[in-house]
Chain A
Amino acid sequence: MSNEARSGEVPVLSTHGLTIRFGGHVAVNNVSCEFRPGTLTAIVGPNGAGKTTYFNLMSGQLPPSSGTVRLYGEDITHLGAPQRTKRGIGRAFQLTNLFPNLTVLENVRLTVQSRAGMGLNMVSMWASHIELIEKAEHFLHLVALTERRHENAAALSHGDKRKLEIAILLALEPDIFMFDEPTAGMSVDEVPVVLDLIQHIKAMGDKTILLVEHKMDVVRSLADRIVVLHNGYLVADGDPTEVMNSPIVQEAYLGAGVADHV
């Protein structure tokens, strides 16, 4: 990863003819797209459009049927999720996907530990690595979960689970942040915390942010670019106002009445 590569000449992440079939159903169909640093791209589309599946293909949870994924121009299609995470692709999940019987703090501490490359250390005590614990506490503070840190993740409310999901993503300190409906199911007063965090990441300037979001006001306020998926196809891609006003989006997406989807 040279400086030149990071500067935006080469896209950070790109997909080329990415396709996946589940039996006869093509969930993601020949999608080619490039993502550049310092840009927040909103990926929108109706339920079942293939947004989460597209994410899974990029972050390595699923192998594609055909097509490639590239990171700084390098083909990473053959790499699994752990290797992609290590290379800077950070993923938060739509359906919260935590370690339910470990504490909130431990959920994040494990993430910090992975980032620190300490997982294979068998000789020291986990509790003696105070720096990892403190770092984890820092991320919990960012999402306002400090008070709950000693509770099991399973005991959290839905909104707090979503916040923990975000704390884990932050703790990965990735170059590429992939948010899959981060505010879905949150109460109105919890949403601003999340939006502020995303704004904050954006303000860092060099991060590549991918955001799947149904709430149009959120998309409007954050996105630099909008990509529309429909039935697995990429049907529109470009400047937010342009895309929102294009006939295909009006028909395929906004007309579908999912703007208030939770």
Chain B
Amino acid sequence: MLRTLLSGDLPRSRMLSATLLVVFIGLALAPFVVSGARSLNVAATICVFVVLVASYDLLLGYTGVVSFAHTMFYGIGAYGVGLALTGMGPSWTAIAVGTVGALLVSLVLALVIGLFSLRVRAIFYAMITLAVASAFAVLASQLSDFTGGEDGLTFKVPELLQPSFHLLEATIMGRAIDGKLITYYLLFFSALGLFLFMLRIVNSPFGRVLQAIRENDFRAEALGYRTVIYRTLANCLSALIATLAGVLMALWLRYVGPKTMLSFEIMTDILLIVVIGGMGTIYGALIGSALFILAQNYLQVLMGQTSAALSGVPFLANLFHPDRWLLWLGVLFVLSVYFFPTGIVGKLRAGTLAKVDRRP
């Protein structure tokens, strides 16, 4: 059962299984174990990023394609529901229309970018995606009548998902069953489903071809695989899943804006998380996202406390000043790449690598 759910791709390391379990249970029970809107926001962001990063790993880690357009697809999903909910009012129909519309736009864009440029050398492909994504981000902030420009759009979601909505009078474990909780679980289960879906894709016959293309595309062609088709399909799948991640994020924030949905910073975050977690593992997206988002949100707090504790020591106190958190995140990143070049998952699995392709 579990084997089928995980598509036969078991963690294959006790430490990795334990880590995955901790993150999974943490996310599953987040509304009941953490208090405060901020913590739940962190958990929800992790859920969305797991999907976003894993879908990027499908492209980078499995197929060996470097794309800078991933946030664009994420943004399309977010703006899709944002615009639909703004224009049509807070209804489930609006969400459906926005989602389907966004998926179609993403599909067309991914197909066009793919068919026109996946034949060219990898570096050109990366450049083309960068150009298209930048153009899209500029467009989104320029069309301010439509998209709200730099300020973005704030909109209402259907009643069931509104924070003021209460499903039950009672509370469970001291937690009100409100719209926020329902939205969280909508995100959680969607993310879980998409994660398992991606795990299946990479462990399907199709997924194995993607890895073959990453290894040696010339030979994959000689075996009879038309690499353009496989790359384009991977590109489309990855784009569609990123779009869904955007939809989820917009529903959670009830807001879309260029800075939160389209900025290049998100793209670099995705890249960092894939590398930290471990390229070509899918599981890396889960561990990497959890670690990275937690660090992004709590490193500052932690440093503030350290700095206060060290207030007598002038140089150290200054070094740990909360404003330096980005520097420390950078240091952590460099260290993790240095010590775990194959990512956290790669490192945890290293001892059992020899068994990778052993038949069940």
Residues of A within 8 A of B (CB): 59, 61, 80-83, 85-86, 91, 93, 97-103, 105-106, 109-111, 113-115, 118-130, 133, 150, 168, 172
Residue from the set B225, B227, B230 with the largest chain A CB neighbour count within 10 Å: B225
For residue B200, which residues in chain A have a CB less than 8 angstroms away from its CB? 122-123, 125
Q: Judging by beta carbons under 8 Å apart, are A102 and B211 in contact?
A: yes
Residue contacts A-B, CB under 8 angstroms, 27 given = A80-B221, A82-B222, A82-B223, A82-B225, A82-B226, A85-B223, A86-B224, A93-B222, A97-B219, A97-B222, A98-B216, A101-B215, A102-B215, A103-B356, A110-B208, A114-B224, A115-B224, A119-B209, A119-B230, A121-B204, A122-B201, A126-B204, A127-B203, A127-B359, A133-B359, A150-B358, A172-B223
Output the least CB separation between A76 and chain B (Å): 14
Across-interface contacts of A111 in B (CB, < 8 A): 223
Q: A126, B216: Cβ atoms under 8 Å?
A: no
| New contact pairs (4) apart from A102-B212, A113-B208, A127-B360, CB-CB < 8 Å | A97-B218, A119-B225, A122-B200, A126-B205
Q: Which of B204, B212, B355 contacts A110 (CB 8 A)?
A: B212
Q: Lowest 5 CB-CB distances: which A-B pairs, in order? A: A85-B224, A99-B215, A114-B224, A122-B206, A121-B205
Chain B residues with Cβ below 8 Å from A120 are 205-206, 233
Closest to A165 in B: B219
Query: Which residues from B are CB-within-8-Å of A129?
Result: 205
The complex places the Cα of A174 from the Cα of B241 at a distance, in Å, of 38
**Contact between B212 and A125, CB atoms less than 8 A apart:** no
Contact assessment for A99 and B360 in the assembled complex, using a CB-CB cutoff below 8 Å = no
- In the bound complex, residues from chain A placing their C-beta under 8 Å from that of B223 are 82, 85, 110-111, 114, 168, 172
Residues of A within 8 A of B360 (CB): 127
What B residues does A109 contact at CB under 8 A?
A: 208
A118 to B205, Cβ gap below 8 A? yes
Most chain A beta-carbon contacts within 10 A, residue among B7, B205, B218: B205
Q: Is the CB of B354 within 8 A of A150?
A: yes
Q: What is the bound-complex CA distance between A81 and B322, given in angstroms?
A: 58
Q: Hey, which chain B residues are within 8 Å of A128, CB to CB? A: 8
Chain B residues with CB under 8 Å of A93's CB are: 219, 222
Q: Complex Cα distance A98/B217, Å?
A: 10
Tell whether A106 pairs with B357 under 8 Å between CB atoms, given A99-B215, A121-B204, A121-B206: yes
Cβ–Cβ < 8 Å partners of B206 in chain A: 119-122
**Size range of the chain B interface in the assembly:** 35 or more
B207 proximal to A (CB < 8 A): yes
Smallest CB gap from B226: residue in A: A82
- Least Cβ–Cβ distance between B360 and chain A, in angstroms: 6
Kindly list chain B residues whose C-beta atoms are within 8 Å of the C-beta of A122.
Answer: 200-201, 204-207
**B225 near A97 (CB under 8 angstroms)?**
no
Min CB–CB distance A110 → chain B (angstroms): 5
Q: Which residues of B contact A113 (CB under 8 A)?
A: 205, 208-209
Do A127 and B209 form a contact, CB below 8 Å, given A85-B222, A85-B223, A97-B216? no
Of residues 1 through 56 on chain B, the ones whose CB sits less than 8 Å from some CB of chain A are 4, 7-8
Chain A CB within 10 A, most for which of B211, B224, B226, B356: B224
- Which B residues are in CB contact (< 8 Å) with A98? 216, 219
CA distance A150 to B355 in the complex (A): 8
State whether A125 and B7 are in contact (beta carbons under 8 Å apart), knowing that A98-B219, A119-B209, A150-B357 are contacts in the complex.
yes
- A106–B208 contact, CB under 8 A? yes
Chain B residues near A121 (CB, 8 Å)? Answer: 204-206
**Neighbouring B residues of A127 by C-beta, 8 Å:** 8, 203, 359-360
Q: Which residues of chain A are within 8 angstroms of B225 by Cβ–Cβ distance?
A: 82, 114, 119
Q: Chain A residue with minimal CB distance to B227?
A: A82
A128 to B4, CA, bound (A): 10
Pairwise interchain contact B357-A103, C-beta atoms closer than 8 A: yes
Residues of A within 8 A of B219 (CB): 93, 97-99
